[in-house]
Amino acid sequence: MKNKNGWLALGTVIGAGALSFALVRRHLRVQAEGLAWQKQHRPALNVLACPDCHGALTIVFLAGGDGYHCSNCQKDYPVVGGIAHFIQPTELTGWNKRFAAMYDWFSWGYRAFSKIAFAYIGMSEEEARREITDRLEPKGGRLLEVSIGPGVNLPYLVRRPDVGEIFGLDISPGQLYRCREYVAHRGWDTQLQLGNAEQLPYQANSFNGVFHLGGINFFNDKKKAIEEMIRVAKPGTRILICDENEKGAQAYERFLPSFKRVAGKQRPAVVPPVDLLPPEMQEVRLFEVWNGWMYCIEFRKPGGKEVA
Ligand SMILES: C[S@@+](CC[C@H](N)C(=O)[O-])C[C@H]1O[C@@H](n2cnc3c(N)ncnc32)[C@H](O)[C@@H]1O
Ligand SMILES: [Zn+2]
């Protein structure tokens, strides 16, 4: 090579080639794992329900592939890449629309951001996530995470002997596609649904554990979301609802410009929505977790001893 520029050009070509090769290999691996995951995917007709009218669903063949049909209100819900779509992102409004869009593009960096955030608050990710997930009492039954994101709580749930089937719902297709990639890579049999926490696509009394971690502060209708988590939980189930407190929201505003932009200048102060719980809920507790950066509302749906 005659000059420095020649070596530089050669180095750039080799580097770009190696990067492209690695990216193509990764893409092929993700595709193959995704397909394998979809193949083992089975319809969950015993758990799913129409989010609009709670009617029973049947499997149908829609234009683009499989889907669910509500025999009550006649709505169709497509299954895309193994994920049932119970909302159309274009129909979302208000906070839900803004945060779904933010999490869509932020999904690529969400895991890395979480790790940095845990280092900042002085806890390991495992310690922090177990502080919440260890409080669930599924007793071998079915578990639901509302707003599952890219599946960051799953490692602390899938291997627990007292956890049965796991369902995860999120409003952001981007987050759910990351989650699918993650569970497919690990061979986990998690059921994923695209939906809105305010209109859950599940039958009443279906889950032995229900939790939500991060998100409710900026739902359009927090009360509706809480009522939905209660509706789908079996009687006697412990439910956990956690999100950042005002101190945590201010930290997000400092470090995440997009959060500040999406939440807006007139963001209302964060108040844990404990007053929105129906009065009949039992063992209600409000406490701080994650070294004082998050609140957690824990309660039990009444009834239950008779329901397995
Ligand atoms: C801070 S992330 C939390 C992800 C995960 N649960 C965790 O522990 O890291 C908030 C999640 O809430 C989801 N979300 C926001 N609004 C929602 C809504 N109305 N219904 C369901 N999920 C929603 C977002 O898409 C995002 O994945
Ligand atoms: Zn319906």
User: pLDDT (tens digit, 0 to 9) for every residue of the chain, 308 residues total?
Assistant: 568 888 888 888 888 888 887 888 888 788 888 887 887 777 899 999 999 999 999 999 888 788 999 999 999 999 999 999 999 989 999 999 999 999 999 999 999 999 999 999 999 999 999 999 999 999 999 999 999 999 999 999 999 999 999 999 999 999 999 999 999 999 999 999 999 999 999 999 999 999 999 999 999 999 999 999 999 999 999 999 999 999 999 999 998 888 989 998 889 999 999 999 999 999 999 999 999 999 999 999 999 764 44
Is residue 102 within 8 Å of residue 89, measured between CB atoms?
no
Burial grade of 87 (CB within 10 A; 0-12, 13-18, 19 or more)? buried
- Buried-exposed string 215-242: b where 16+ CB fall within 10 A, e elsewhere: bbbbbbbbebbbbbbbbbbbebbbbbbb
Going from the Cα of 170 to the center of ligand 1, the distance in angstroms, rounded, reads 6
Backbone CA torsion sign across 305, 165, 219, 290: positive
* Ligand 1 near 182 CB (within 6 A): no
Residue 103, ligand 1, Cβ within 6 A: yes
| Dist. CA 305–CA 111, nearest whole Å | 39
Classify 282 as helix, strand or coil. Answer: strand
Distance 211 CA to ligand 2 centre (A): 25
Separation of alpha carbons 286 and 244, rounded Å: 13
- Supply the pLDDT for residue 2: 64
Residue owning the nearest CA to atom 8 of ligand 1: 213
Question: How high is the pLDDT of residue 5?
Answer: 85
Distance CA(80)–CA(215), nearest Å, equals 24
214 backbone φψ class: left, alpha, beta (φ>0; ψ -120 to 50): left
Q: Report the 10 Å Cβ neighbour count for 255.
A: 13
pTM: 0.92
Does residue 168 line the site of ligand 1, with CB under 6 A? no
Which of 96, 108, 147, 178 should be mutated for ligand 1, with most atoms under 8 A from CB? 147
Query: Is the CB of 133 within 6 Å of ligand 1?
Result: no
Q: Which helix (DSSP H) or strand (DSSP E) does residue 80 occupy?
A: strand 76-80
Return the ligand 1 atom nearest residue 212 CA. Answer: 6
CA pair distance 82, 44, nearest whole angstrom: 12
Whether the CB-CB separation of 125 and 118 falls below 8 Å is answered with: yes
Both tokens assigned to 177: 């596609």
Crossing angle of helices 110-121 and 94-106, rounded to 10°: 90
